[in-house]
Structures are given as C-alpha cells and as structure tokens.
C-alpha cells in the first residue's frame, strides 16, 4: 500500500475557481444520482477536495454557484464536517484516533512519539509542509487500535516502531 | 376544532395549532426562545417543555399539535419546572450574563424568563470558565447588525430568517456543537435588505441593531402603532419613542402584510421623523421672512387665497386620507382650484406576508391608493411639470417631498412666478420660492389613515407632540377652511373626516376608526416588552 | 456455530461476485423477486430480525410503516456510517463480502418498493467506499442491479454516498439531512422517515449488518433465522471486541452468549494477564458494566434488563489499570466534538461534562463535580433532546460516576485549587483537537 500525497493548490490560485470540462462532466454525473442539486453537495465537495487538496472560499463560491445555493449555506455545510480541509493541508495528514479503544491501546504514546520525532502537536504542521497531525474521533477500526489514518489509508495496530518506519517511508516517497 | 385543557383552563383551538399558541389562547404563557410564529419549528431550545397526561416523557410545546381531550400541564407541573430550570442552567452556563451592558436588556427573552418565571432565583453549579468567541464579541456583521457571539443561545432564528423569509441564505452556523457560531460566507458583510430583522428575531443580545444600540434603554420607550411611510406596501410598525424623540421603528405584527418583518429601508426612516427644520409659520416680505402667530397666518393667508382667481394645489401621496379629503373639499370643490397628486415609483420594495408570499410595492408613496380612491388626479413627473408650467394666481404645495421633481431647480423656477404657499417639515429647495411657509408635523405627530397598495385601510396614531409650532397638516387645512368661512370643514379631529369618508366614499363604507389601528394584534410575544 | 455474516472472511477473492455466486449468492434476491413484496416483508417480520445499528428496532416492522399506496418514489438507505466508538463490524462485512450487502439492499428495496438506494458510508472509509463501488459495478454487469432486473421489470439503482466526518450522521434523520446536502442536524420526529424521509419521500434506513442478514433469511427461511439466539433476540450477531483483550476483532456469535464468553473465550481474555475492570457492552453510548456484571447475556432484552444496552454489539474492554475518570473525559471529548449543536441540553451539557472531567483529570477537581455530572446527564437525556445523542453521552458518563464514584472521590481528594482560566481540552500534545482541521 502506498499512500498518495496531497498536493494542495496554494490559496492565491484558489481565490476564484472555475471548473474545467473534466470537473463539469463529473459534476453532471453526480447530479444524475439525486432528485435535487443540493444533494450533490458532499460528493461535489469531495471532488473539489480531491482536485484542489482543500476547500477554499473560492471553491465554496464555485460550488455554491454550480449547486444554485448561497455560498454561506455551502460554507455552513463544509464547516459541519471535519474531513474537509479549510486550510491547505500538508502532504501527509496524520489523523490519530484519540477515542476510547485507541487511547486504551496507546494512542497517547503515539501522540508523544510524533511530537518528539516531528516536533508537531495536534493541529500543527511540520515547517516543510510534509506532515500534519490531527486528533480525530473514532475511525471505526477499534479492533486494530491504535489506528492512524494517513490521508486516505488506515494503518492499524500502530506502535512507535511501526510509526517510525511509516514516517520514514513517507518522507522518502514525497 | 380540538378542545383541550392547559393548566386547568379549557380552550378550543383551530386544528393544527401548536401547544404554545393554544396555551396563549387559554391565557397561559409557555416560554420559548427558538420558536417564532412565522418561522419553521425546529424545537432546539427545549425551554417550552410541557407535560401531557398519558405521555411518559415531557414534550416540546412548539412541535406538538393540540389534540382533542389533551390535558397539558405547564406552570402547574413540577417535572416541567425542573426541566425548564435545567434548560436555563444549560443556556446560562456559557452566557456572559452581561445584562447591565447589554443593549437587549429589557427586551431579552432569556432575561425575562430568568427574572419572571424563575423569579430571579437561580443557582448554577457551573465552576468552569465560560466559552468565548474571541474576535466575535463586537463585530459589525453587516451595515446594520452588530454581533456578540458570546451571548448567542444557538436558537437559529436569524439563520432561518435569512433562509425562509428574506431568502438570501446569507447567515449560517459555522462549525458545530458548542463551537458553532453565526457567520456569513467568509465573514463578508451581511448583505440582506432585511438584515435588521435578523437582530429583531434574535431573542438575546447576540445580534443588535447598530443604529439603535445604546441610544435608549428598551424599557424607557413607549410604542405607538403606526404604518411605515417607506412605500405603498404599508407595513405595520411601532414607533418607539421617548420624550418626543423617535428612536426606532420596529415591525408590528400583521399576517396580511408584513407578518413581523420590516425592510431596512423602511426601518431606518425612523430617524428622519425627528427632523423638523421648519418650526415657525412665516411669510416672505420684501425685507425678509416675517414670523407670525398661527391665528394671524390664517387670517392673512385666507385673504391671499380669496384674492387668487386661479388656484393650483399639489397634494401628496404621503398625506392621509383625511388630509386628502379636506384638501379636495376645500381647494377643489369649494374654491374650484386644481388639485393633483404626483406619482413616482422610487426604488421597488418587497415584503413577505404571514403566508410567505411576496408583496411588491406599487409606488414609493404610502397613500397613493387613497388619493386614487378619492378621485384626485394623479400626475407623473411630466404631468407635474406641465401642471406647474401653467399660470396660476396662487400655488399651494402641501408637501415638498411629494415628488423628487419638486426638489429640482426647474420646479423652483416654475413655482417662483406666482405666490406660493408651502407646508413643509424639512428644508427643501422649494422653500426659496415660497411666499408662505407653514410648519407641518411628521408622521410621528400626526394621525390618520392610509390605504396600502394591497387595498387595506390602516390607521396610524399620534406618537409624539409636534415640535415648535408645527401642526399636523389636517389641522392646518381645517383651520384655513375656517378662516375662509367654511366652518363645516373645521374639524377638531381627523376621525370626523374619516366618518365623512365612511359615509360618502364607497370604498370606505363599513369601516370603523376605532378598530383600524390593529394594535390589538400582539400574539408576537416579543412585543410585550415595550409600550 | 457456522459463520453466516462472516463466511467469506479468509476466503480467496471473496469480494468477487463469482466467488459470491458460487457460495449461493444472489439466490435470496431471486427468491424475493418471485414473491410479492408484502410476503418478503412478512418473512422478515417472522424472522424477528432486529436492527443491528444500535436501537434494535424490528426491521420488518420498520418496513411495514412505509405507506403502500404512496404514489411517488421511495428510498432505501444503507447506513454504513459506522462511527459508534468500539464498532467496526460493518467495515468487516464490506471488506470481505460487499455483494452480500448489495443483495440485502436489493431485497429490502424490493420489499418496500424503492427503485433508488443510497449507501451512506462514513467519509473516512475511502477504501471501503471504493470496494462498494466496484461491487455495484459487478452486480450491475451481472444484471442484479439496474433496469429490468432478471426480466422481472423491477428497476434498482444503488449509489454510494460518502459522509465527511460526523458521528451524528449515523442517526437516521441526521443521515437523511446530510444526504440531502445539508448540515447533519437530526430532524424532529414525527414524522418518521418511513413516512417523510429523504427528499420528503418514504424512506427506510437500515444498517449494513441488518441488510446482510436478509439474503440468508430469504434463502434459508425465517424459521431458520429465528432458531438462532433467543426469543425476540434472534439471529447471528457480530460482536466487536476492542480494548485490553488478547484477540481484539469481530466475532460472529448467536445472540444470547454471555459477555464472559465473548471476552474470555472468543477474545482470549485480558491482555498482559491483567484483570477485567469494566466494559462497555454496546459501544461507548451504552452504560458501562463492571467485572461483576460480566455474566450478563448479550442480547437486546437482557442488556436492557441489566440497565444498559446491546447497541451495536461493540464490547470495549478495560483492564484494572484504567482510570475511569479519564475514560469519562475521553468519552465526553468524543460527544462534545460530535454534538451537532442544535438542542441546548446536548450542546451545552456535553461540553460542560467535558470541562468538568477535563478539570478532574488534570487534578483540579471539586467536591460538587460528581453530582453536577449526574445532574447534567439527567437533564440531557430522557427525551430532553431531539435525537438520542443526549442519552448517548449521558448514560455512559452517569454510569461511570455512579459505578466508580470512589475513583472520582479519589481524584477530588487529590485536587488543587481550580485555576481561573480555561484549561486546554486535549492535554496530550499541541492544541485543542476539536476543529483543528
């Protein structure tokens, strides 16, 4: 398994967003699944995050226009859900589960380990923009606690040693 | 029609009435924060809990429809009392309790409930530091609305207002849970032609109106029922005033016209009512202006009027039906003069009624419909210019605001050629051309009726005494009529004129001056704080 | 016991539709198509299948609330928003046997007369959303989904809809709101989704595991299904065991085993030779049970009788090293983070609980704290809120306070004076993790 890095489009290029033909085509496909345009909200936002790496106000305005909603409404939806990045993310977002089973099985040790190794706490990014640590709630993989999700991929039964290995691999691959 | 019992009082209510409204009909007040009679029911605040016999759990009154035979307990239930105390404890856990410096104090639902229904007896086990929203304590959310997010109780009324009523969808929650706050897209200005209504519906001091903030404590204000002069729709308002100063307009409930809403344009006309540049009646002499007591004014003016062989009068769509009637009777019928009312559209306005239908303005004038009903000739800008272009021995302009054309140099020139009487409240270019200037009172110091473009005859009442020597226009007309020898027109109250309208005009038949005020419609709880 | 729901675990190429067909897959749907929809519903009612999402509501009865004569479209939603702490069973089914889920969706859709079904899967499950999409493509290619399925004239489209990180969207009305493209705010009930659901149309929301039971009920009959487990608590059930056990994982067991069997036989007992202290029997929203209560039977009714609930069947095991005040803090953090913020008692109460427990954990307790926690929990549950999240945080926290009051007392006895500033909420490393992204 090779975790894909996120390549976030810099903010200055996302101030005003127009969807290209490929995006429009996929949006049109999404619209066909639902009786209302609004229901395409989450799929279209996911599409944007996949494409741009994060959801800037410019992206929100573009989505709002396409879905015939007000940008405030779209922003309200975006901010309700925790998975949409509202700031450009690092290449690898380390999402450490902090909920009960993972805490019981050593998530706290992992958090301290990351702090020691990378110098970042929750909500922080390494200065080179490679890693970012987020504390997240239950990832639904408690049997493999402690769990850490890096971008889209789950890494279960993590130990400081396995984490070291993973971080080295990711740092090499970028 | 379901018949039910609330706190021991039996009441019969229309099908579909919720328990808050049913209780009100029974004379029982159920507290609420997030419920609003003209917004969707969301059941978020949980303060309206009531006990329904036969149901194990407490129910929220806002989302429960009255049913036949239901036995409801509100104030008489110990369980309800405990639940409401708990909800208050939750709400106040993070509320700053800064009532002494909060401008909502006195008209705050949270404060009222804490004081009245809990008798101010309130103990909290809260030991924590309060949650705050740094940077959102005194934020100008939009041109008219100031936000203090720390006070917000997350009722979502403002959000629902922009979604359901103004339809701008300009406000939203950001984030979720206890970290949620009210915001616009990307923190940009709250751009909504009804923005101040978001502050109106705010049950606490989280959103307040910038123009009114800290100008007057709410409990000092008296409220007088009136009608908005902003356009032809005729939204019902309260004029909130204290010691002869008008502080604000707030919407007055009328399901037919404006539900409980008011547009920003109309609302902020309130300040203009305090303006009274013309305070004395005066006559232009060669050596300059001469102030005269009213009694002499009428004597001298009557001579001028009698001397004029041709008389032309510009009335106004801002004048009441009573004033228009007097003007028509005096100038057009008795003195055989020419009488017109100028028409202009102004900026189009819209308003949502209680059935959530948009009403659109037909003109900028609140009583154009009344002028039409009285059969007075209406003229557009060109017609008005032509009217003034013709020769006359005497011109009477009853309202220089009647049409924007009257403020142009062209109009001044046209009027200048003959003696002109102008009744005015504020400075206007036309006053340069006047031989007589008579101080007229504002809407706040006047009373009468207007006909809205929806066809409804609505009365406005006297809020304040006119400043200086200013008089309501109907009085000026009545006294002039007496000076001219038409004693029968010398009424002492506009209700007399209204009675003539009822008797002589088909479209007024059957109306009653006493019930036209509509101020008895106050199901909207918020209104009970003021006046 | 034979494996039913997890029969594909360990089988080569188990996700492939040919593997599924070889194991008798899609036969249940074929059988359903040969029956009138009402008969399918009746079969499910007879099986006494109860919803596996947490509430344990009888599935067949839920379907029967859908108005038969409704003229417009109806919808089926498969709830794959598995987010209850301790729960990871649906992911297991999707991982090994996605066709079984699709067949269940097809059967349920047919029974209620839906022609569109959505699988609402939590946003973090990128991999499993892809697996489902591939499975849908295969099922469509084999003619089990799409137009005029198997020449019966029945049409069904299934779409995967991904959430984006919100526990509350596992609640069915919040899920519906979220699917409609809004913030995931639970709706006031009534009306129930079976009458007014997604896009205002009658909608049934069923959990992945519930739906996965349907092919087996159809092929082997309601009587067979009802013979597993105990009366009113029938069928195989997936138990997710996590925490301090030797073999954490998903176990398929008949309803009616005891928690002792689950923890000590199947999951291999407590790790590192420690002793059992307490466990959550049905996800973190169920009141905690102590080591003394380990002989409680793991079914819906027995759990209810023991003052807790079976919930999603997620057993979180804690050994004797665990500080129960910290457990409370961890859960309060979860629920304060996941409260949608609509209703006062849940929004304020969950955050308040977190503040108190956080303070206690950091050594700033106050003698009034346990009673204050109980008071908050009392008034945030029992119908004080729109959705069950109020109960979800109140029940476990109040159970922790009542059953481990001595630990709270000990924490308070050690307490320093309360500092006048807000304490950091997640004191591990860095900033408050809430809304860090």
Does the beta-carbon distance from C418 to B175 stay under 8 Å?
no
Dist. CA C28–CA C32, nearest whole Å:
6
A73 vs B: CB within 8 A: yes
Structure confidence at residue B90 as a pLDDT band (50, 70, 90): very high
In the CATH hierarchy, which top-level class contains the domain C17-227?
alpha beta
For residue C84, pLDDT over 90 is answered with yes
pLDDT of residue B311: 96
The three-class DSSP label of residue A26 is helix
Does the beta-carbon distance from A133 to C127 stay under 8 Å?
no
A31 vs C: CB within 8 A: no
Give me the percent of chain B exceeding a pLDDT of 70: 97
Contact C238, C81 (CB under 8 A): no
pLDDT of residue C426: 67
Whole-number average pLDDT of chain C: 94
Give me the percent of chain A exceeding a pLDDT of 90: 97
pLDDT of residue C47: 96
Structure confidence at residue C431 as a pLDDT band (50, 70, 90): low
Radius of gyration of chain B (CA): 27
Residue that has been written with the tokens 């699944």 in this structure: A33
Does the beta-carbon distance from C188 to B57 stay under 8 Å?
no
Kindly indicate whether the domain formed by A92-173 is annotated with CATH number 3.40.30.10.
Answer: yes
pLDDT of residue C434: 47
Q: Is the peptide bond before A166 cis (omega within 30 degrees of 0)?
A: no
User: What pLDDT, in 10s, does the model give residues C152-185?
Assistant: 999 999 999 999 999 999 999 999 999 999 999 9
For residue C436, pLDDT over 60 is answered with no
Dist. CA B114–CA B207, nearest whole Å:
20
DSSP A52-93: HSS--HHHHHHHHHHHT--HHHHHHHHHHSTTS-SS---SEE
CATH of C324-413, one of 3.30.1130.10, 1.20.1440.230, 3.30.1120.130, 3.40.50.150: 1.20.1440.230
A60 vs B: CB within 8 A: yes
User: What pLDDT, in 10s, does the model give residues A48-63?
Assistant: 999 999 999 999 999 9
Structure confidence at residue B518 as a pLDDT band (50, 70, 90): confident
**Annotated domain spans of chain C:** 17-227, 237-316, 324-413
For residue B523, pLDDT over 80 is answered with no
Does the beta-carbon distance from B93 to C348 stay under 8 Å?
yes
Dist. CA C242–CA C86, nearest whole Å:
6
Q: Which of B170, B174, B176 sits opposite A70 (nearest CB)?
A: B170
User: What pLDDT, in 10s, does the model give residues C284-334?
Assistant: 999 999 999 999 999 999 999 999 999 999 999 999 999 999 999 999 999
Q: Other C-beta atoms within 10 Å of B292: how many?
A: 18
Least reliable range by pLDDT among B190-194, B386-390, B517-521, C20-24: B517-521
pLDDT of residue C184: 96
For residue C44, pLDDT over 50 is answered with yes
For the residues B37-53, what does the mean pLDDT come to? 95
User: What pLDDT, in 10s, does the model give residues A76-94?
Assistant: 999 999 999 999 999 999 9
For the residues B258-271, what does the mean pLDDT come to? 96
A76 vs B: CB within 8 A: yes
> Distance, in angstroms, between A23 CA and closest chain B CA?
23
Superfamily classification of domain A11-80: NADH-quinone oxidoreductase subunit E (1.10.10.1590)
Judging contacts by C-beta atoms under 8 Å, the chain B residues touching residue A73 are 163, 169, 172
Does the beta-carbon distance from A80 to B184 stay under 8 Å?
no
pLDDT of residue A174: 62
For residue B467, pLDDT over 80 is answered with yes
User: What pLDDT, in 10s, does the model give residues A130-145?
Assistant: 999 999 999 999 999 9
Judging contacts by C-beta atoms under 8 Å, the chain C residues touching residue A153 are 126-127
User: What pLDDT, in 10s, does the model give residues C117-137?
Assistant: 999 999 999 999 999 999 999
pLDDT of residue C424: 79
CATH of C237-316, one of 3.40.50.1370, 3.10.20.600, 3.40.30.10, 3.40.640.10: 3.10.20.600
Structure confidence at residue C389 as a pLDDT band (50, 70, 90): very high
Does the beta-carbon distance from B170 to A72 stay under 8 Å?
yes
Least reliable range by pLDDT among B143-147, B240-244, B525-529, C167-171: B525-529
Q: Which of B169, B175, B176 sits opposite A72 (nearest CB)?
A: B169
pLDDT of residue B239: 94
Identify the closest residue of chain B to A73 by CA–CA distance. B172
Helix (H) or strand (E) segment spanning residue A109: helix A107-118
User: What pLDDT, in 10s, does the model give residues B19-35?
Assistant: 999 999 999 989 999 99
Dist. CA B395–CA B378, nearest whole Å:
17
For residue B54, pLDDT over 80 is answered with yes
Dist. CA B184–CA B173, nearest whole Å:
8
**Annotated domain spans of chain A:** 11-80, 92-173
User: What pLDDT, in 10s, does the model give residues C333-378?
Assistant: 999 999 999 999 999 999 999 999 999 999 999 999 999 999 999 9
Contact C308, C287 (CB under 8 A): yes
Q: Which of B41, B128, B173 sits opposite C352 (nearest CB)?
A: B128
* Fold match flag (A11-80 vs A92-173): no
Structure confidence at residue B108 as a pLDDT band (50, 70, 90): very high
For residue B522, pLDDT over 70 is answered with no
pLDDT of residue A109: 94
pLDDT of residue B526: 55
Does the beta-carbon distance from A143 to C88 stay under 8 Å?
yes
Structure confidence at residue B295 as a pLDDT band (50, 70, 90): very high
pLDDT of residue C437: 35
pLDDT of residue A70: 97
């Amino acid at each position: 398994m090779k975790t894909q890095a996120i390549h976030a489009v810099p903010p200055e290029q996302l101030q005003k967003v127009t969807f290209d033909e490929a995006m429009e085509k996929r949006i049109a496909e999404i619209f066909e699944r639902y009786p209302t345009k609004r229901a395409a909200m989450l799929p279209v936002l996911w599409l944007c995050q996949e494409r741009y790496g994060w959801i800037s106000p410019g992206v929100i305005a573009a989505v709002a226009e396409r879905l015939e909603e007000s940008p405030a409404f779209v922003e309200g939806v975006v901010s309700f859900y925790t998975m949409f990045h509202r700031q450009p993310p690092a290449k690898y977002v380390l999402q450490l589960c902090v909920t009960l089973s993972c805490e019981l099985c050593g998530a706290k040790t992992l958090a301290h380990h990351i702090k020691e190794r990378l110098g970042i706490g929750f909500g922080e990014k390494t200065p080179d923009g490679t890693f970012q640590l987020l504390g997240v709630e239950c990832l639904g993989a408690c049997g493999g606690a402690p769990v850490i999700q890096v971008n889209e991929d789950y890494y279960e039964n993590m130990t400081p040693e396995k984490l070291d290995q993973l971080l080295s691999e990711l740092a090499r691959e970028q | 029609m379901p018949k039910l019992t609330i706190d021991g009082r039996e009441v019969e209510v229309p099908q579909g009435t919720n328990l808050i409204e049913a209780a009100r009909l029974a004379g029982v007040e159920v507290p609420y924060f997030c419920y609003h009679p003209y917004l969707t029911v969301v059941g978020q605040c949980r303060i309206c809990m009531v006990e329904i016999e036969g149901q194990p759990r407490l129910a929220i009154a806002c989302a429960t429809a009255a049913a036949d035979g239901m036995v409801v307990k509100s104030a008489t239930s110990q369980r309800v009392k405990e639940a409401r105390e708990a909800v208050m404890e939750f709400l106040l856990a993070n509320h700053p309790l800064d009532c002494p410096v909060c401008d909502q104090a006195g008209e705050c639902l949270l404060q009222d409930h804490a004081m009245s229904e809990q008798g101010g007896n309130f103990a909290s086990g809260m030991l924590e530091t309060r949650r705050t929203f740094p940077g959102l304590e005194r934020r100008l959310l939009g041109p008219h609305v100031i936000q203090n997010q720390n006070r917000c109780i997350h009722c979502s009324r403002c959000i629902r207002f922009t979604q359901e009523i103004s339809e701008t969808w300009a406000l939203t929650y950001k984030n979720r849970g206890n970290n949620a706050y009210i915001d616009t897209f990307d923190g940009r200005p709250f751009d909504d032609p009804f923005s101040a209504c978001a502050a109106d519906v705010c049950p606490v001091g989280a959103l307040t109106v910038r123009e009114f903030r800290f100008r007057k404590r709410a409990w000092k204000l008296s409220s007088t029922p009136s009608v908005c002069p902003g356009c032809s729709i005729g939204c019902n308002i309260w004029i909130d005033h204290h010691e002869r100063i008008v502080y604000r307009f707030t919407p007055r409930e009328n399901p037919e016209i404006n539900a409980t809403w008011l547009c920003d344009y109309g609302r902020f006309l309130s300040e203009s009512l305090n303006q009274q540049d013309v305070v004395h009646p005066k006559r232009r002499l060669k050596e300059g202006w001469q102030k005269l007591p009213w009694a002499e004014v009428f004597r001298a003016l009557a001579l001028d009027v009698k001397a004029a062989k041709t008389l032309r009068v510009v009335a106004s769509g801002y004048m009441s039906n009573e004033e228009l009637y007097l003007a028509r009777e005096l100038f057009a019928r008795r003195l055989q003069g020419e009488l017109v009312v100028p028409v202009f559209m102004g900026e189009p306005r819209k308003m949502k009624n209680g059935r959530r239908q948009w009403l659109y303005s037909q003109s900028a004038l609140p009583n154009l419909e009344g002028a039409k009903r009285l059969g007075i000739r209406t003229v557009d800008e060109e017609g008005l210019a032509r009217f003034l272009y013709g020769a006359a021995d005497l011109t009477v302009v009853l309202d220089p605001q009647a049409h924007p054309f009257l403020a142009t140099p062209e109009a001044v020139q046209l009027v200048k050629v003959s003696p002109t009487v102008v009744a005015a409240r504020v400075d206007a270019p036309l006053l340069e051309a006047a031989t007589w200037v008579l101080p007229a009172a504002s809407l706040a110091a006047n009373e009468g009726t207007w006909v809205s473009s929806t066809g409804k005859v609505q009365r406005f009442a006297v809020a304040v005494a006119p400043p200086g020597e200013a008089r309501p226009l109907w009085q000026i007309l009545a006294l002039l009529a007496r000076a001219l020898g038409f004693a029968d027109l010398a009424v002492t109250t506009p209700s007399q004129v209204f009675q003539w309208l009822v008797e002589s005009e088909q479209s007024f038949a059957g109306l009653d001056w006493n019930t036209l005020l509509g101020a008895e419609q106050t199901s909207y709880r918020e209104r009970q704080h003021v006046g | 016991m034979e494996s039913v729901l997890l029969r594909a675990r360990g089988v080569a190429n188990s996700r492939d539709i040919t593997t599924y067909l070889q194991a008798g897959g899609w036969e249940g749907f074929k059988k359903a198509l040969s029956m009138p929809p009402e008969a399918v519903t009746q079969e499910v009612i007879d099986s006494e299948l109860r919803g596996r999402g947490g509430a344990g509501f009888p599935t067949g009865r839920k379907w029967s609330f859908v108005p038969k004569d409704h003229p417009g479209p109806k919808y089926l939603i498969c709830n794959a928003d598995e987010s209850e702490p301790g729960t990871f069973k649906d992911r297991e089914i999707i991982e090994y046997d996605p066709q079984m889920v699709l067949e269940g969706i097809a059967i349920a859709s047919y029974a209620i007369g839906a022609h569109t079904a959505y699988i609402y899967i939590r946003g973090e499950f990128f991999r499993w959303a892809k697996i489902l999409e591939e499975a849908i493509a295969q099922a469509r290619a084999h003619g089990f989904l799409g137009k005029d399925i198997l020449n019966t004239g029945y049409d069904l489209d299934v779409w995967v809809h991904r959430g984006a990180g919100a526990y509350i969207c596992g609640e069915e009305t919040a899920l519906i709101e979220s699917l409609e493209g809004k913030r995931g705010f639970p709706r006031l009930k009534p009306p129930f989704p079976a009458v007014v659901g997604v896009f205002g149309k009658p909608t049934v929301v069923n959990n992945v595991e519930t739906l996965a039971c349907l092919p087996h009920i159809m092929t082997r009959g309601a009587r067979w299904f009802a013979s597993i487990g105990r009366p009113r608590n029938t069928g195989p059930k997936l138990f997710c065991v996590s925490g301090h056990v030797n073999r954490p994982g998903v176990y398929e067991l008949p309803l009616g085993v005891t928690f002792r069997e689950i923890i000590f036989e199947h999951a291999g007992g407590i790790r590192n030779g420690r002793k059992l202290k307490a466990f959550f029997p049905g996800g973190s929203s169920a009141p905690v049970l102590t080591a003394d209560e380990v002989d409680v039977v793991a079914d819906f009714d027995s759990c209810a009788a023991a003052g807790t609930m079976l919930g999603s069947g997620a057993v979180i095991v804690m050994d004797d090293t665990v500080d129960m005040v910290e457990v409370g803090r961890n859960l309060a953090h979860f629920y304060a983070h996941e409260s949608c913020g609509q209703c006062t008692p849940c929004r304020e109460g969950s955050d308040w609980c977190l503040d108190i427990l956080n303070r206690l954990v950091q050594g700033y307790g106050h003698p009034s704290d346990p009673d204050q926690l109980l008071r908050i929990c009392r008034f945030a549950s029992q119908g004080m809120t729109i959705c069950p999240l109020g109960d979800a945080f109140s029940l476990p926290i109040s159970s922790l306070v009542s059953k481990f009051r001595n630990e709270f007392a000990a924490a308070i006895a050690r307490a320093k004076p309360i500092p006048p500033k807000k304490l950091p909420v997640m004191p591990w490393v860095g900033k408050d993790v809430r809304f860090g992204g």
